[in-house]
Amino acid sequence: MRGWLTRLRRSIPEPDPDLWLEARTRVPWIGALDTERDARLRTLAARFLHRKTITPVATLALDDAQRLQLAAMCCLPLLEFGVQGLHGWSQLIVYPDAFRVNRSHVDAAGVLHEWDDELIGEAWESGPVVLSWADIQADLASPREGFCVAVHEIAHKLDALDGALDGTPPLPRDWQRAWARDFQRAYDALARTVDAGRDTAIDSYAAEAPEEFFAVCSEYHFSDPALLQAELPEVAAHLRRFYGPSPFE
Ligand SMILES: [Zn+2]
């Protein structure tokens, strides 16, 4: 793997040093990385920009510095997993703000239900990742409050790599078994608390589904690791192994 990364470094140009310095200043998660992981993220971000199309929509325009910052944030969850985490999709669509999505579903009785969802991010199993620029900026302004929409959506992409969006990314077999057991137990406990109408320290959105639980806990790993450790120590340990130590540890 190391040899492959070295080859990668030769074939794809590294980001402009001034733009990378700007990214380190603007994005607190990057600024907090040690030298070795900073270099790894820089290489991953270059690979991201080489392989993905970033498409701003409506009134939004993104310059090279902002594209690099986006790419680097999307690569934070890949620091340990590696560049193969980018597999299976090609487009990052960025809306200026939260966006409305029309949903429809035909129920068992054949009745069509339609509704609108307002989203700040979205990731389909093999389609594009969609992010709201305003929400990225809010994450950057308050990086320690448990939110990072870029990490959330990329966690979904990692989850989907094994063909099932179920809260378990591809892992070695023994680890996958332990992960599934520990995550299920933590998810069930959170869902019971939410169902009982009690407040939870972890965002109750995590109780929507196992895949949301994984994505939301991934946000805490990067933006409030102390809370995750206090509330869900087993989940925190798996995520620390999967993502490497949180930049804010
Ligand atoms: Zn989600």
Nearest CA to 161 out of 81, 80, 72 is that of: 81
Å from CA of 131 to ligand 1 middle: 11
pTM of the model: 0.91
Do 82 and 118 touch, CB atoms closer than 8 A? no
Å from CA of 121 to ligand 1 middle: 7
Q: Which residues, including other chains, have CB under 8 Å from residue 107's CB and lie 6 or more apart?
A: 113
Q: CA separation (Å) from 36 to 33, 42, 78, 80, 187?
A: 8, 10, 14, 12, 34
Do 219 and 147 touch, CB atoms closer than 8 A? yes
pLDDT digits (tens, 9 = 90+) for 33-81: 999 999 999 999 999 999 999 999 999 999 999 999 999 999 999 999 9
Does residue 215 carry a pLDDT above 80? yes
Residue 12 is predicted with a pLDDT of: 83
Do 145 and 224 touch, CB atoms closer than 8 A? yes
Residue 3 is predicted with a pLDDT of: 56
Does residue 7 carry a pLDDT above 70? no
Q: What is the pLDDT averaged over residues 138-149?
A: 96
Å from CA of 35 to ligand 1 middle: 31
Task: Output DSSP code: residue 13.
Answer: P
Do 27 and 74 touch, CB atoms closer than 8 A? no
Distance in Å from the first CA to the final CA of the chain? 26
Residue 121 is predicted with a pLDDT of: 82
pLDDT digits (tens, 9 = 90+) for 98-140: 888 777 777 777 777 777 788 888 887 778 999 999 999 999 9
Å from CA of 17 to ligand 1 middle: 33
